[in-house]
């Protein structure tokens, strides 16, 4: 009984590890594709997302997996573009601010 419990434990650990590797591989594929598309403009990425979703609806079942990865990557790229755009807006001042130098007078 102890040996079977040990074997079951090892099998479940191995299954969990394989599932973790599979998830990481999927996420790495999504990130790789998203980084390629993150240089696009927001309008272009929106067009590509709608095109990918239309293709996903019309695609046969054997192509759906890769199109789902592509669609997920495009959404991730859109998030990257929006974050970058927000960061650039936060860095820029609302109006040009003149630089004023304050001089210390000698006492």
Mean pLDDT of the chain: 86
Q: How many CA atoms lie within 13 A of 104 on its CB side?
A: 2
Give tens-digit pLDDT for 59-81.
Answer: 999 999 999 999 999 999 999 99
**Is residue 91 very low, low, confident or very high in pLDDT (cuts 50, 70, 90)?**
confident
> What distance in Å separates the CA atoms of residue 53 and residue 47, rounded to the nearest whole number?
10
Give the Cβ contact number of residue 22 at 10 Å: 10
pLDDT of residue 85: 86
pLDDT at 86: 87
pLDDT grade for 97, boundaries at 50, 70 and 90: low
pTM of this structure: 0.66
Residue 77: is it exposed, middle or buried by C-beta count within 10 angstroms (0-12/13-18/19+)?
buried
More confident residue, 51 or 9: 51
Determine how many CB atoms are found less than 10 A away from the CB of residue 51. 12
Per-residue confidence band for 82, with pLDDT thresholds at 50, 70 and 90: very high
% pLDDT > 70, the chain? 84
Q: Could you tell me what percentage of the chain is helix, strand and coil, using 3-state DSSP and rounding each to the nearest 5?
A: 75, 0, 25
């Amino acid at each position: 009984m102890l040996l079977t419990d040990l074997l079951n434990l090892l099998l479940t650990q191995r299954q969990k590890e394989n599932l973790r590797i599979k998830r990481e591989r999927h996420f790495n594929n999504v990130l790789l594709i998203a980084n390629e598309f993150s240089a696009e403009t927001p309008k272009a990425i929106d067009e590509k997302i709608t095109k990918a979703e239309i293709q996903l609806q019309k695609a046969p079942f054997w192509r759906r997996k890769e199109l789902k990865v592509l669609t997920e990557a495009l959404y991730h790229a859109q998030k990257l573009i929006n974050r970058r755009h927000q960061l650039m807006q936060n860095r820029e001042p609302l109006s040009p601010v003149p630089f004023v130098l304050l001089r210390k007078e000698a006492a």
